[in-house]
Amino acid sequence: MNARPGGRRGSFRVVGIGPGDPELITLKAARLIGEADVVAFHAGVRKQSHARRIAGDLVPAGVVEEELRYPVTTGSTDHPGGYVGALADFYDECEDRVGAHLAAGRDVVLLAEGDPLFYGSSMYLVDRLRDRFDTEVVPGVPAFTAATAFLSQPLVRQSDVLTVLAGTLPGPELARRLADTDGAIIMKLGRTFPAVRSALEQAGRLDGARYVERASMPEERWLPVADVDPATVPYFSLVVVPGDTAPAGRHATRMRESSVVRGRILPDAVSAASSQKIRTGTTKDSAELAVVGLGPGPEGWLTAEAREVLAEVDHVVGYAPYVARVPQRAGLQRHASGNTVELDRARLALDLALRGERVAVVSGGDAGVFGMATAVFEARAGDERYGAVPVRVVPGVSAIQAVAARAGAPIGGDFAVLSLSDRLKPWPVVERRLRAIAEADLVLGIYNPASRSRRDQVVAAQKVLLEHRSPDTVVVVGRDVGRAEESLTVTTLGGLDADSIDMKCLLLVGASATRAEPDGVVWTPRWVR
């Protein structure tokens, strides 16, 4: 316990010691444990330290041992700050105890189960001490790799996506993420297991999901998740969802032969067997394709018709943030993609419908207002096979309606709607339309006013409008309307700060008669003098 001479400060080493089998401890971790002046380890409430048990005889005789025992792990606490406050105080105490050894020149090794920075308590001490002391983290074998080794089951192949999830996530969110990935690991079970099992079922991933308990320990075992008694699930357990159990056709990366119809690759969701049916004309009658407007965001703004349609389809296709808004349930397959591949999405949906699948293409707001409805009709018109697919557009609350309602009644008279994006039309066309709307003295709703790479258009639009409108013209800026970050700003055309506008905004530029009341309400008369 004596300090080292010369004022030397000790080194802090955090070593991963694996999930349970001492033979999985790395050579480097074993060496550092043997050279330590102090060995620290966490311990549960009224429990022997699992980390200390794994390290066993690697800890030298006579070394100083610092047991860091949690005040609470689950259950209630009388700490005034609750569970979070109790743990914050505990980590403060751990910092003081370990820091005192380091300041005195003693080398400290902190034992960490699995890998130190993977859901590990040791990360909190790394955060607190690394700026003051020489700190090194030695990786360890995480529990989920031991679990997959025990199963002898490939977790992910080739370009499959692996997602690691906490069982403490809300059930709908857990189900959504499980449906959107190939392979998955679910940690933090115990009392969360019933909700995890339900999420797997909703995501269509229950079949093939494996429950592994105490991986790499003598008592390790596994069961199909469907066969597990929730009352028997301990903390040292997890769920493995192999990528090979993902719905057929989610990705064409598992050595499956590409499907080609008329010289073009079918979307991944169309299997080779289905493409053969299409070529030979033996596919079942095509199903109706629904294009659904989800509204601007809040659940309460989703129409009853849209909710009914989404509850009946087998596939949802769309831009990833919109697909994420559709609750996951058993039997639903999700096909999310990026923001600039509308025609690819439409063709995927049409191919699925051509097979007889029940499909919904989703859009934010109203699908017919700068949404996916037109893209679907464009794709259908471009391929004669798609003519057999009936398309139904299910309306939704549009963003302009939502912003206008928050402001009052700015579109109570005649109005026009324009997108400032020049991705699908040249800017001179946009500018010509801006002038026409301004000269007609119409209220103007502006979609897509600016983006990270497109900052000049909103400045140019403001300049064009000011050539025909008074600088005192009322302008409403709605940002994230309907969401938690919602804001509504009432300004003027001359006072509009173009630098503050982004893709989350929708602008309403009033007509000459549009009024802003002292209480902030904006409205446009129905009459025109």
Q: Which residue has the higher pLDDT, 226 or 331?
A: 226
pLDDT for 336 equals: 86
Q: CA dist 434 to 13, 365, 431, 467, Å?
A: 64, 23, 5, 11
The count of other CB atoms within 10 Å of the CB of residue 423 is 9
Q: Within a domain: residue 483?
A: yes
End-to-end CA distance of the chain: 92
pLDDT for 279 equals: 34
pLDDT for 252 equals: 37
Looking at the fold, whether 136 and 159 belong to one and the same domain comes out as no
Q: pLDDT (tens digit, 9 = 90+) per residue, 308-359?
A: 999 999 999 998 889 989 988 888 988 988 777 899 999 999 999 999 999 9
- CA–CA separation, 31 vs 16, rounded Å? 12
The 3-state secondary structure of 8-41 reads CCCCEEEEECECCCHHHCCHHHHHHHHHCCEEEE
pLDDT for 172 equals: 85
Looking at the fold, whether 170 and 124 belong to one and the same domain comes out as no
Q: pLDDT (tens digit, 9 = 90+) per residue, 6-22?
A: 568 999 999 999 999 99
Residue pair 97/41 in contact by the 8 Å Cβ criterion? no
Q: Which residue has the higher pLDDT, 26 or 172?
A: 26
Q: 282 pLDDT band (50/70/90 cuts)? A: very low
Q: Within a domain: residue 1?
A: no
Looking at the fold, whether 431 and 473 belong to one and the same domain comes out as yes
Q: pLDDT (tens digit, 9 = 90+) per residue, 104-157?
A: 999 999 999 999 999 989 999 999 999 999 999 999 999 999 999 999 999 999
Q: Within a domain: residue 260?
A: no
Q: pLDDT (tens digit, 9 = 90+) per residue, 377-399?
A: 999 999 999 999 999 999 999 99
- CA–CA separation, 374 vs 381, rounded Å? 10
Q: Is the pTM here over 0.85, yes or no?
A: no
Report, as an integer, the average pLDDT of 372-378: 96
Phi/psi for 335 (5° steps) reads -130, 90
- CA–CA separation, 420 vs 459, rounded Å? 11
**DSSP string across 170-237:** -HHHHHHHHHT-SEEEEE--GGGHHHHHHHHHHTT--TT-EEEESTTSTT-EEEEGGG--GGG--SSE
Coil, helix or strand for 138?
strand
Looking at the fold, whether 305 and 189 belong to one and the same domain comes out as no
In the predicted structure, residue 5 carries a pLDDT above the cut 60: no
For the chain, what is the domain count?
4
- CA–CA separation, 295 vs 360, rounded Å? 15
Residue pair 391/380 in contact by the 8 Å Cβ criterion? yes
- CA–CA separation, 297 vs 386, rounded Å? 31
Looking at the fold, whether 117 and 25 belong to one and the same domain comes out as yes
Q: Within a domain: residue 511?
A: yes
**DSSP string across 277-344:** HHHHT-SPPPPPEEEEE-BSS-GGGS-HHHHHHHHH-SEEEEEHHHHTTSPP-TT-EEEEE-TT-HHH
* Owner of token pair 């559709």: 326
pLDDT for 84 equals: 86
Share of the chain residues as helix, strand and coil, in percent rounded to the nearest 5: 35, 20, 45
Please give the mean pLDDT across all residues of the chain.
88
| Residues counted in the chain | 529
Report, as an integer, the average pLDDT of 493-511: 93
pLDDT for 248 equals: 61
Q: Within a domain: residue 380?
A: yes
In the predicted structure, residue 177 carries a pLDDT above the cut 70: yes
Q: CA dist 506 to 278, 372, 469, Å?
A: 43, 18, 19
Show which of 394, 409, 443 is a domain's final residue: 394
Q: Within a domain: residue 43?
A: yes
Report, as an integer, the average pLDDT of 355-365: 95
- CA–CA separation, 507 vs 489, rounded Å? 10
Looking at the fold, whether 125 and 199 belong to one and the same domain comes out as no
- CA–CA separation, 397 vs 402, rounded Å? 7
Show which of 216, 245, 274 is a domain's final residue: 245
In the predicted structure, residue 481 carries a pLDDT above the cut 90: yes
Looking at the fold, whether 465 and 500 belong to one and the same domain comes out as yes
Coil, helix or strand for 109?
strand
Residue pair 246/182 in contact by the 8 Å Cβ criterion? yes
Which residues make Cβ contacts (< 8 Å) with residue 307, sequence separation at least 6? none
Looking at the fold, whether 134 and 161 belong to one and the same domain comes out as no
Sign of the CA dihedral running 487, 493, 496, 499: positive
The fraction of the chain above a pLDDT of 70, given in percent, is 91
pLDDT for 202 equals: 87
Q: Within a domain: residue 193?
A: yes
| Whole-number CA gyration radius for the chain | 30
pLDDT for 255 equals: 36
Q: 1 pLDDT band (50/70/90 cuts)? A: very low
Report, as an integer, the average pLDDT of 449-477: 91
The fraction of the chain above a pLDDT of 90, given in percent, is 73
- CA–CA separation, 382 vs 365, rounded Å? 26
Which residues make Cβ contacts (< 8 Å) with residue 11, sequence separation at least 6? 102, 107, 108, 133, 134, 135, 136
Looking at the fold, whether 343 and 357 belong to one and the same domain comes out as yes
Residue pair 173/52 in contact by the 8 Å Cβ criterion? no
Please report, for the domain that includes residue 469, its CATH number: 3.30.950.10
Please report, for the domain that includes residue 99, its CATH number: 3.40.1010.10
In the predicted structure, residue 285 carries a pLDDT above the cut 80: no
Query: What is the domain range of residue 506?
Result: 400-523
Q: 75 pLDDT band (50/70/90 cuts)? A: low
In the predicted structure, residue 4 carries a pLDDT above the cut 70: no
Show which of 84, 116, 140 is a domain's final residue: 140
Looking at the fold, whether 404 and 512 belong to one and the same domain comes out as yes
Looking at the fold, whether 16 and 135 belong to one and the same domain comes out as yes
- CA–CA separation, 170 vs 172, rounded Å? 6
Looking at the fold, whether 290 and 231 belong to one and the same domain comes out as no
Q: Within a domain: residue 310?
A: yes
